[in-house]
Amino acid sequence: MMSKLLFTFPALLCCAVLMGAEPGEQTQLVPDADPDNLEQIPSVNLVLNGRSTDVMVENPDNPLVLLQTNRGDMVFELFPTEAPATVNHFLGLADGTLPFVDPAIGQQVMRPFYNGLDFHRITNGFLIQGGSPNGTPSGNPGITVPDEINALSLGLDRMPVLDRDGVPNPLLGIRSEEDFRNRVLKPLYKDMNITDSTILEARAGQVRERLESLSIKDLYELEGYRYSQRVRSRAPAAGSLGMANHGPGTTGSQFFITLTEADWLTGRYNFFGKIRAGENVLQTIARTRVDDNDRPIETISILSVTRIRMEAL
């Protein structure tokens, strides 16, 4: 086991790891792409939760999906030009055309995946999450979809991990020295093959140089993320639809809907849609009482996830 000293930032490299910086400062994220002039936004008319509703969309050619829950219905616009594989994966699971492994029998099946599952996580002011086949954070469908993120379009290559005063970029969400050791130093030492305090002391200057030049894109790539320039990504906003994961290359079936901008998720999750109607339902679900593990005390069920066929409108 590596010595404790290995993950203690030496005084020689003391870059003030400091709490107090608020998320969003010193970042230049690509904003959500909603046009400013609402009169120019295309719209379609739907009957949602018993009422006729005009749903504004960015592109009428983008897929719309209806997510029905036992608390009401929501409509999402998906972005296939930004995350084509993710959109196809999500729709394939939703409509039952994509095979997955049923955890109850351990065999591959084909049926609408999301019908009857629950939202198993609700974190106040942050997100609601569902799509786990066994109702736990570790549930997965036995298949994955690649990470579809363009770090360059998000500007992550231009965001230093540390500013000139040695303060970590707020986008990283670092709140303690332990966070800094685990999120920054540990992957950096691994990449530099620094395995003990003797090597660290001998290479302190090199570590310092790497830290001073390290971008958020560089850091995430050290963690294992692989980025693509074939898509254009946007930063999450309130109401963004993203796929959950447990690290690089582990995106399966679980999805989440953000309740805030959540910019600290940028560059690590496939975002592939945005809520377009039913925000009141989202907020109702978000206010559900939860236990100490953020699990809803009352069951919040996903009745179905279906694509809205525009020709039928």
pLDDT digits (tens, 9 = 90+) for 222-257: 999 999 999 999 999 999 999 999 999 999 999 999
Residue 223's identity, in one-letter code, is E
Domain extent listing, the chain: 44-150+233-312
Give the separation between CA 256 and CA 262, rounded to whole angstroms. Answer: 12
Mean pLDDT computed over 177-182: 95
pLDDT digits (tens, 9 = 90+) for 136-165: 999 999 999 999 999 999 999 999 999 999
Which has more pLDDT, 231 or 35?
231
Contact 282, 276 (CB under 8 A): no
Which has more pLDDT, 220 or 43?
220
Does position 206 have pLDDT exceeding 90, yes or no? yes
Q: Which two tokens stand for residue 267?
A: 């560059």
Mean pLDDT rounded to a whole number for the chain: 87
pLDDT digits (tens, 9 = 90+) for 269-290: 999 999 999 999 999 999 999 9
Give the separation between CA 16 and CA 90, rounded to whole angstroms. Answer: 42
Does position 310 have pLDDT exceeding 70, yes or no? no
Give the separation between CA 200 and CA 186, rounded to whole angstroms. Answer: 12
Secondary structure (3-state) at 143: coil
Does position 44 have pLDDT exceeding 80, yes or no? no
Instruction: Find the distance separating the first CA and the last CA of the chain, reported in whole Å.
Output: 62
Element (H, E) at 151: helix 151-154
What's the pLDDT score for residue 47?
78
| Most distant CA atoms of the chain, gap in Å | 69
- β-strand partners of 46: 53
Q: Specify the CATH number for 44-150+233-312; select among 2.40.100.10, 2.30.22.10, 1.20.1250.20, 1.10.10.10.
A: 2.40.100.10
Mean pLDDT computed over 13-21: 36
Contact 139, 254 (CB under 8 A): yes
What's the pLDDT score for residue 41?
64
Give the separation between CA 298 and CA 118, rounded to whole angstroms. Answer: 10
Q: Provide the whole-model pTM.
A: 0.85
Give the range among 4-18, 179-193, 236-250 with minimum mean pLDDT.
Answer: 4-18
Which has more pLDDT, 50 or 123?
123
What's the pLDDT score for residue 43?
77
pLDDT digits (tens, 9 = 90+) for 56-101: 899 989 999 999 999 999 999 999 999 999 999 999 999 999 999 9
